Amino acid sequence: MSRPRRLSSIQQSQKLPRPGTSGWSRREVLGLFGGVGATAFVAGCGGFGGSGDDAVEGQITFTTWGTDAELEGFERTIAGWSDANPGASVRLNAVPFAQMFENIDAQLQSNTAPDIFRVDYDNLGTYAGRGQLLDMSSFFDDAFGERFSEAMWQAVKFDGNPYGVPHHTDTSLILYNTRMMTEAGITDIPTTLDTAWSWDEFEDVAATLRGQLPDDQYPFAYNWQASGVTRWLSWLFQSDGRFLAEDLVTPAIDSDAGRAAVDFTKSFFDKQFVPPNSSTKATTFANEFWYAETTAMTFAGAFLLPDANEVLDWEWGATYSPQNVRGGGDLGGNALVATANTEQGELAASFLRYATEQEPMRDFCAASSLLPTRRDLIESGIDLQARPELGRFFLEQATTVQPSDAEQIASASMAEINLVLSDELEQAFVGGQSTDDTLANIAAGIAEATER
């Protein structure tokens, strides 16, 4: 086999033919084609210096979705890793998010999956629980996990073993329209995590806005639409509740904390704090209401900053999510994982280690407006390229995610549980379903999902 060279561009990789049934192995063919025309591209990318690993050689395939900034960030990471490991390369395949997991499922089923792929924490447990991911225990030493915050390292574990690396995270907080808040007389907005609004204070703010705004405008929108329904769990975590017991199988949502979370969020619709068409099954996303000035506030992740910065021509700011018994946030962001059938485990592990080194992670997160998972970067902070002064709000908000929250979200049945949450919360919010029935139905749905 000819020695594979460096990264080929995304465009090149998308045009490459899929290997057929010749006598060549899939990886031989990929290696041969993957090297074509790659060197010139990499020469222009530069890198981040050595990875500190023993140098490895060979080529791995990597499938991801991403914004332009994210894809460019991945390309710089790949170039840096290739510089540190002459003879090692990555064939990057960028696909639209809408097709990502249907494609990965089909490739896993037909044994044509890439060596590594990007996956959100909700889905990581789904794949790990079905034996589709490579257990990285034998590739990472015991100290490796210490580079990450405890919650983020927990988020890539399944049955106590790591099945990938937490590449970046994101969490939601409140973005507000300064003019609409000021006109409603709300000027005392928290600027530190420990002074974040309590649920009662947040309700007062919403009630004040409701009293000031016309009928077709609303105090806020919450970003639980479509696959964002997991973000509802922040309210449960803020009440110090769980949806899965410690065995990660038994439903635990039918509790006082669960009741408080459903009651409080249900009241958003009853009191017209949120647009009636912003429920969990709505097709209009929370930020769109805020962009259109239909709402004064929205809950949003850091990933939205570049877009908001570019689109909005009015003044806006950020503050923390409300707190109840404790602070809590959603576990956004994505991990990088290797597939169970990869023949390049060592090479994949080397790339995953490199991608979570300090400089590659800082570069990727700053450029993509995402949050780091490394302890050192969380402590030192990073300068997001869009609205850098708001970065600290998101970083501090991310610290409210507890390892126990992450552990539940990364459980094997999270995809099914999300669907149960979406259906039942929709019924509670706009279908008139009682809190007790909602909790009982969610608990039954979770039990069915975890039994499957």
Partner 1 sequence: MTDTAVAPPHGGAAATEVADAPRASNGKRPRERSRRSLNETIAAYSFFGPNLVVIGMFLLVPVVWAIVISLQTTDGFGSGEFVGAENYQTLVNDADFWRATFNTVLFTAIIVPVSLAIGLGLAVLLNSVLPARPVLRTIIIVPMVISGVATGLMGEMVFDQNTGIVNRFLEAVGVGAVSWQSEGGPAFATVVLVTLWWRIGFNMVIYLAGLQSIGPHLYEAARIDGAGAWAQFRNITVPMLGPSTFFLLIMNVIYSLKVFDIVYVLTGGGPGNSTSVLVTYAYETGFVVRNQGYAAAIGIVLLVLTLLFTAAQWKLSRTRDLVE
List residues binding partner 1 (CB under 8 A).
101-102, 105, 108-109, 126, 130-132, 216, 226, 275-277, 279, 281-284, 289, 292, 294, 415-416, 418-419, 423, 426-427, 430-431, 449, 452
Please enumerate in sequence order all residues whose Cβ is within 8 A of that of 365, keeping only pairs 6 or more positions apart, or say none: 168, 371, 372, 377, 382, 384
When the beta carbons of 106 and 207 are compared against partner 1, the nearer one is 106
When the beta carbons of 281 and 392 are compared against partner 1, the nearer one is 281
Minimal distance in Å, beta carbon 427 to partner 1? 6
Helix (H, G, I), strand (E, B) or coil at 292: coil
Minimal distance in Å, beta carbon 337 to partner 1? 15
* Structure token digits, residue 421: 């949450």
Minimal distance in Å, beta carbon 227 to partner 1? 9
Q: Which amino acid is at 61?
A: T
- 393-397, long-range: CB < 8 A, 24+ apart: 393/173, 393/318, 393/319, 393/320, 394/170, 394/171, 394/173, 394/301, 394/302, 394/318, 395/371, 396/192, 396/193, 396/320, 397/171, 397/172, 397/173, 397/193, 397/320, 397/321, 397/327, 397/329
The upper half-sphere exposure of residue 372, i.e. CA atoms within 13 Å in the direction of its Cβ, equals 27
When the beta carbons of 174 and 428 are compared against partner 1, the nearer one is 428
Helix (H, G, I), strand (E, B) or coil at 439: helix
When the beta carbons of 154 and 295 are compared against partner 1, the nearer one is 295
CB 287 within 8 A of CB 223: yes
When the beta carbons of 101 and 299 are compared against partner 1, the nearer one is 101
Minimal distance in Å, beta carbon 426 to partner 1? 6
User: How many residues does the structure list for the chain?
Assistant: 452
Minimal distance in Å, beta carbon 161 to partner 1? 18
When the beta carbons of 180 and 260 are compared against partner 1, the nearer one is 180
Minimal distance in Å, beta carbon 252 to partner 1? 21
CB 224 within 8 A of CB 421: no
